[in-house]
C-alpha cells in the first residue's frame, strides 16, 4: 500500500473512489456535504432513503455520479456527531479498507481528518487510518492450500488535508503504515502453528530482520552458550522439549551513544504446561504464548523502517514447554543466571522461568529502561479481560510513561501493584523463591517474581495474556502491544528533544 497526502478539491480528484463520512442521525460530514453539493443532492437522497444510517462501520458505494471525476463514492458510517469514539473510528476505518479492497477501486481519497473525535488531532486520525488500513488487509495464508488473491486490490490511499497539514499528515501516514506492518508481522508470527513457529524459526526471523536492516544487528545464542552463561532456569523449561531453546538479541542503533531501551519478549512457541499439564480444551491457543516476542519483532521492524533516533535492543528467550521424561517436575529446584534458586511448584509457570534469565542477561546492555512483554498469566484475563494490558513496574515514572503511551496510541495499559506485601507469597522452604504464589493475585505475584531479577534497572512488565490474541470465531493474533511500544519510544524521543 502507498499513502499520499493531497490538498486538491474532492470533485476534481482523479481517483477510483472518494471516501466521506456520514454521521448517525443522518448528518453529513463537511466533505460529504461538499460532495452532496457537487452531485446535486445524491448523498442526501440516499440518506433520506434510509440506505445509510451512519452506524460506525456501515459502508455504501454510490457509482458514476455527475459532477465529480471519481467513478465511486464510499459513504462511511462514523457514529453520532461529536460523540464518535476511538472504537467507532477504528471500526469505521477498518470497514472502509476492507470495503475498498473488495470494491475494484485500487486507489481512494479519504476525508476523515475532519471527523470530530474528542481531542484527537487530524494527524492522529490520519495515522490511525493508515494503521487500520494495513491491519485490515492482512490475511493469514501461510498454511491454507487455496489462496484466491483479490484481482484488483486497493493499493493507494490518499488523505485530504489543508496545505498547513501536509507535513504532519505525511509523518502520520509513515508512522501509521509502519506500525500497522509491525503489527502484521507480530500477528503472522503469532498465528503460525507451533510445528512451524519453533524457537529455531523465531531465531531465523531475528536473523532475517538483521539482514533486512543495516541498523539491526542480530545474535542468536544456542543452548550450549546459555549453559555457559548459567541460564539454568531458562534451560530447565527447554529440557522437556525436543526443540532446542534459542536466545535472540536484535540491536537497533539509531540513537548514537545513548543507553538503549531493552524489550524482552516471552517466546514460548507452545505451552502445554509441562508435567503440570494444561486441560485439553483451547490448548491450541497456547501457540500464542510467543506473542510477547512477536511484539518485539514487530516493534523492532517498525522502528527500523522509520529509522527512529533511539537505541532499542530486542531480547527474545524462546522455548517450548512440554511434558517429557526429562521435563521439570513439581518440586524441582533450579539455579537462575542471577544465582538465585527457584523451587518449581508448577511447571506451567514457565514464562517467568525463561524471562528471569533473559532479564538478567539484559543487564549487559547497560539499559536505560527494560520492558518485558509476556502472555504471562491467565489471571490477568480475569482481572482486565481483553481490553487492556496489565502493567507492573519498579519505577512509577516509567509506569506513567507507558500508561500515557497507551492512551496516546489507544493500545491501552492499566497498572497493577507489585507492593512488597505480595512478595511473601513466593516464599519457599527449599529455595530462594517458589515460581508460583498461590491462587490470590496471580498476575501480581508473577510480576513480583520478575521484580527479583530487575533490581539493577528501570523495569516494567506488560502482561498481554488478554490482549495478544482473539479467541472464538475471529481467532487470531491482534498485533498488540506494538502500537503501545512504538508510541512509548516516539514519546521518549520527543521528550529528549
Among the listed residues 351, 390, 406, 447, the single contact to ligand BES using CB under 6 A: 351
Give the integer Cα–Cα distance in Å for 26 and 6: 27
Q: 27-54: buried (b, 16+ CB within 10 Å) or exposed (e) per residue?
A: bbbebbebbbebbeebbbebbeeeebeb
Q: Is 73 helix (H, G, I), strand (E, B) or coil?
A: strand
Quick check: 271 binds Zn ion (CB under 5 A)? yes
Q: Which is nearer to Zn ion, 98 or 346 (CB)?
A: 346
Give the integer Cα–Cα distance in Å for 347 and 275: 6
Bond preceding residue 481 cis, omega within 30 of 0 = yes
Among the listed residues 136, 268, 300, 393, the single contact to Zn ion using CB under 5 A: 268
Strand 433-434 to strand 246-253: parallel, antiparallel, or no bridges (unpaired)? unpaired
Among the listed residues 271, 305, 343, 372, the single contact to ligand BES using CB under 6 A: 271
Q: Which is nearer to Mn ion, 88 or 348 (CB)?
A: 348
Which ranges of 213-315 does DSSP label H, i.e. alpha helix? 223-229, 232-238, 291-306
What residue 436 binds from ligand BES, Mn ion, Zn ion, none (CB within 5 to 8 A, per partner kind)? Answer: ligand BES
Binding marks (x or -) toward Zn ion, 345..374, rule CB under 5 A?
------x-----------------------
Which of these, 45, 181, 22, 19, lies nearest to 98 by C-alpha position?
19
Q: Which is nearer to ligand BES, 92 or 349 (CB)?
A: 349
φ/ψ region of 165 (left if φ > 0, alpha if ψ in -120 to 50, else beta) reads: alpha
Quick check: 463 binds Mn ion (CB under 5 A)? no
CA torsion through residues 234, 237, 242, 243, sign: negative
Q: Is 352 a catalytic site residue?
A: yes
Cβ-Cβ contacts under 8 Å for 235 (sequence gap 6 or more) = 223, 226, 227, 245
What residue 346 binds from Mn ion, Zn ion, ligand BES, none (CB within 5 to 8 A, per partner kind)? Answer: ligand BES
Q: Taking each helix axis from N to C terminus, what angle separates 166-191 and 122-136, rounded to the nearest 10 degrees?
A: 30
**Contacts to Mn ion from residues 340-359, by CB under 5 A:** 348, 350
Give me the phi and psi of 12, to 5 degrees please: -100, 5
User: Could you say which of 125, 352, 412, 492 is catalytic?
Assistant: 352
Among the listed residues 303, 349, 353, 371, the single contact to ligand BES using CB under 6 A: 349
Strand 18-24 to strand 72-80: parallel, antiparallel, or no bridges (unpaired)? parallel
Is there a contact between 291 and 464 (Cβ–Cβ < 8 Å)?
yes
Among the listed residues 436, 460, 486, 490, the single contact to ligand BES using CB under 6 A: 436
Cell output for 140: 493469514
Give the integer Cα–Cα distance in Å for 19 and 108: 7
Closest distance to ligand BES from the beta carbon of 480 (Å): 13
Give me the phi and psi of 378, to 5 degrees please: -60, -25
Sheet with 332-335, side-by-side order of all strands: 332-335, 341-344, 433-434
What residue 428 binds from ligand BES, Mn ion, Zn ion, none (CB within 5 to 8 A, per partner kind)? Answer: none
Cell output for 324: 517429557
User: Could you say which of 55, 80, 253, 278 is catalytic?
Assistant: 278
Closest distance to Mn ion from the beta carbon of 354 (Å): 10
Among the listed residues 16, 36, 271, 372, the single contact to Mn ion using CB under 5 A: 271
Binding marks (x or -) toward ligand BES, 360..399, rule CB under 6 A?
---------------xxxxx--------------------
Q: Which is nearer to ligand BES, 251 or 348 (CB)?
A: 348
Q: Which is nearer to Mn ion, 38 or 348 (CB)?
A: 348
Q: Which is nearer to Zn ion, 80 or 278 (CB)?
A: 278
Among the listed residues 44, 85, 346, 491, the single contact to ligand BES using CB under 6 A: 346
Q: Which is nearer to ligand BES, 128 or 347 (CB)?
A: 347
Q: Which is nearer to Zn ion, 289 or 357 (CB)?
A: 289
Among the listed residues 348, 357, 372, 411, the single contact to ligand BES using CB under 6 A: 348
Per-residue CA distances from 329 to 223, 337, 378, 471 (Å): 20, 20, 21, 30
Quick check: 251 binds ligand BES (CB under 6 A)? no
What residue 305 binds from Mn ion, ligand BES, Zn ion, none (CB within 5 to 8 A, per partner kind)? Answer: none
* Rg of the chain on CA atoms, in Å: 24
**Among 158-166, 265-273, 290-298, 428-436, the segment contacting Mn ion (CB under 5 A):** 265-273
Q: Is 475 a catalytic site residue?
A: no
Q: Is 395 helix (H, G, I), strand (E, B) or coil?
A: coil
Closest distance to Mn ion from the beta carbon of 229 (Å): 23
Q: Which is nearer to Mn ion, 352 or 480 (CB)?
A: 352
Residues found near ligand BES in the complex (CB under 6 A)? 271, 289, 346, 348-351, 375-379, 436, 442, 465
Residues found near Zn ion in the complex (CB under 5 A)? 268, 271, 289, 351
Residues found near Mn ion in the complex (CB under 5 A)? 271, 348, 350
| Catalytic residue annotation | 278, 352
Amino acid at each position: 500500500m502507498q499513502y499520499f497526502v493531497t490538498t486538491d478539491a474532492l470533485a476534481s480528484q482523479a481517483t477510483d473512489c472518494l471516501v466521506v463520512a456520514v454521521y448517525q442521525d443522518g448528518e453529513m460530514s463537511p466533505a460529504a456535504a461538499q460532495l452532496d453539493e457537487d452531485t446535486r443532492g445524491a448523498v442526501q437522497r440516499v440518506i433520506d432513503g434510509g440506505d445509510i444510517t451512519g452506524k460506525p462501520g456501515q459502508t455504501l458505494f454510490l457509482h458514476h455520479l455527475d459532477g465529480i471525476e471519481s467513478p465511486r463514492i464510499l459513504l462511511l458510517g462514523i457514529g453520532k456527531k461529536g460523540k464518535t469514539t476511538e472504537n467507532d473510528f477504528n471500526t469505521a476505518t477498518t470497514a472502509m479498507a476492507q470495503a475498498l479492497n473488495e470494491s475494484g477501486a485500487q486507489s481512494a481519497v479519504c476525508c476523515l481528518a475532519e471527523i470530530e473525535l474528542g481531542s484527537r488531532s487530524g494527524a492522529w486520525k490520519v495515522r490511525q487510518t493508515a494503521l487500520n488500513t494495513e491491519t485490515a488487509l492482512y490475511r493469514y495464508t501461510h498454511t491454507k492450500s487455496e489462496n484466491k488473491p483479490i484481482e484488483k486490490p486497493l493499493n493507494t490511499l490518499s488523505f485530504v488535508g489543508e496545505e498547513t497539514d501536509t507535513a504532519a499528515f505525511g509523518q502520520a501516514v509513515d508512522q501509521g503504515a509502519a506500525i500497522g506492518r509491525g503489527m502484521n508481522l507480530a500477528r503472522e508470527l503469532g498465528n503460525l502453528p507451533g510445528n512451524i513457529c519453533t524457537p529455531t524459526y523465531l531465531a531465523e526471523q531475528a536473523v532475517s530482520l538483521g539482514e533486512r536492516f543495516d541498523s539491526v544487528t542480530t545474535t542468536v545464542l544456542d543452548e550450549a552458550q546459555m549453559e555457559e552463561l548459567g541460564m539454568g532456569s531458562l534451560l530447565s523449561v527447554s529440557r522437556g522439549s525436543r526443540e532446542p531453546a534459542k536466545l535472540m538479541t536484535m540491536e537497533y542503533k539509531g540513537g548514537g551513544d545513548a543507553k538503549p531501551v531493552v524489550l524482552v519478549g516471552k517466546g514460548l512457541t507452545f505451552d502445554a504446561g509441562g508435567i503440570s499439564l494444561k486441560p485439553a480444551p483451547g490448548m491450541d491457543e497456547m501457540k500464542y504464548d510467543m506473542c510477547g516476542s512477536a511484539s518485539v519483532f514487530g516493534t523492532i521492524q517498525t522502528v527500523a523502517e522509520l529509522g527512529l533516533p533511539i537505541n532499542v535492543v530486542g531480547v527474545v528467550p524462546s522455548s517450548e514447554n512440554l511434558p517429557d521424561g526429562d521435563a521439570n517436575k513439581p518440586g524441582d529446584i533450579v539455579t537462575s543466571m542471577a544465582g538465585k534458586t527457584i523451587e518449581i511448584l508448577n511447571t506451567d509457570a514457565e514464562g517467568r522461568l525463561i524471562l528471569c534469565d533473559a532479564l538478567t542477561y539484559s543487564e549487559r546492555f547497560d539499559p536505560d529502561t527494560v520492558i518485558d512483554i509476556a502472555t504471562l498469566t491467565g489471571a490477568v484475563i480475569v482481572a482486565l479481560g481483553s481490553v487492556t494490558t496489565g502493567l507492573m513496574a519498579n519505577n512509577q515514572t516509567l509506569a506513567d510513561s507507558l500508561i500515557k503511551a497507551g492512551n496516546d496510541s489507544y493500545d491501552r495499559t492499566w497498572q497493577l501493584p507489585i507492593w512488597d506485601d505480595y512478595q511473601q507469597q513466593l516464599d519457599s522452604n527449599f529455595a530462594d523463591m517458589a515460581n508460583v504464589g498461590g491462587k490470590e493475585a496471580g498476575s501480581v505475584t508473577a510480576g513480583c517474581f520478575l521484580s527479583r531479577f530487575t533490581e539493577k534497572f528501570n523495569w516494567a512488565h506488560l502482561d498481554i495474556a488478554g490482549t495478544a490474541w482473539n479467541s472464538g470465531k475471529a481467532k487470531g493474533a491482534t498485533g498488540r502491544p506494538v502500537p503501545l511500544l512504538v508510541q512509548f519510544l516516539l514519546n521518549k524521543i520527543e521528550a529528549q528533544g
